Amino acid sequence: MEKPTQQAKVAIPSSKRGVKGFFAETGRELRKVNWPTTHEATRLTGVVLIVCAFVTATLLILSSFFSVFVNIITTGRPG
pTM of the model: 0.57
Q: What is the number of residues in the chain?
A: 79
Q: What is the pLDDT of residue 52?
A: 98
Q: What is the pLDDT of residue 56?
A: 98
Q: Supply φ then ψ for residue 10, to 5 degrees.
A: -110, 130
Q: What is the pLDDT of residue 8?
A: 66
Enumerate the H helices of the chain as residue ranges.
18-32, 38-75
16 and 24 Cβ atoms separated by less than 8 Å: yes
The full set of domain ranges for the chain reads 37-79
pLDDT in tens, the chain (79 residues): 566 566 667 666 655 678 888 999 999 999 999 999 999 999 999 999 999 999 999 999 999 999 999 999 998 887 6
